[in-house]
Amino acid sequence: MVKRILCTYGVDIDAVAGWLGSYGGEDSTSDISRGLWAGTHGTRRMLKLFEKYNIKATFFIPGHTLETFPEECAMVRDQGHEIGLHGFTGYSHEDPTKMTLEQQRDVLDKTYRLLTDFCGKPPRGSVAPWWETSEEGVQLMLDYGIEYDHSMAHDDAHMYWLRTGDSWTKIDYTQKAETWMKPLVRGKDTGLVEIPGHWEIDDIPPLMFRKTAPNSHGYVNPRDVEDTFRDHFDYYYREFADDPDPSKICMFAITCHPDVSGKPHVQLMHERLIEHINKHEGVEWVTMGQLCDEFKSKNAPPEGAMMPAPPGQILKQSATGR
- At residue 6, the 3 state secondary structure works out as strand
Q: Give me the phi and psi of 173, to 5 degrees please.
A: -70, -5
Q: Contact at 8 Å (CB) between 162 and 142?
A: no
Which residue, 2, 60, 52, 3, is CA-closest to 289? 60
Q: Model confidence over 250-279: pLDDT tens digits?
A: 999 999 999 999 999 999 999 999 999 999
Q: Model confidence over 225-253: pLDDT tens digits?
A: 999 999 999 999 999 999 999 999 999 99
- At residue 18, the 3 state secondary structure works out as helix
Strand partners, 59: 11, 83
- The pLDDT score that the predictor gives to residue 135 is 81
State the CATH number of the domain containing residue 167. Answer: 3.20.20.370
Task: Quote the crossing angle between the two packed helices 313-320 and 101-119, to the nearest 10°.
Answer: 100
- The pLDDT score that the predictor gives to residue 75 is 98
- The list of the chain residues with pLDDT below 50 reads none
- At residue 59, the 3 state secondary structure works out as strand
Could you give the number of structural domains in the chain?
A: 1
β-pairing, 82-85 vs 283-285, is: unpaired
**Residue 304: count of CB within 10 angstroms of its CB:** 8
Rg (CA), the chain: 20
Q: Contact at 8 Å (CB) between 99 and 134?
A: yes
Which residue, 193, 131, 137, is CA-closest to 160? 193
- The pLDDT score that the predictor gives to residue 320 is 64
* CA distances in angstroms from 268 to 207, 231, 265, 272, 274, listed in the order given: 14, 18, 5, 6, 10
* Whole-number Å distance between alpha carbons of 192 and 194: 6
CA 115 to chain centre: 16
- The pLDDT score that the predictor gives to residue 315 is 82
Which residue, 149, 196, 189, 193, is CA-closest to 302? 189
Burial label for 167, CB within 10 Å (0-12, 13-18, 19+), is: exposed
Q: Contact at 8 Å (CB) between 26 and 20?
A: yes
The whole domain housing 201 covers: 5-318
E strands within the chain? 5-12, 58-61, 82-85, 125-126, 148-149, 160-164, 188-194, 251-256, 283-285
* Whole-number Å distance between alpha carbons of 64 and 46: 19
**Model confidence, pTM:** 0.95
* Whole-number Å distance between alpha carbons of 176 and 199: 35
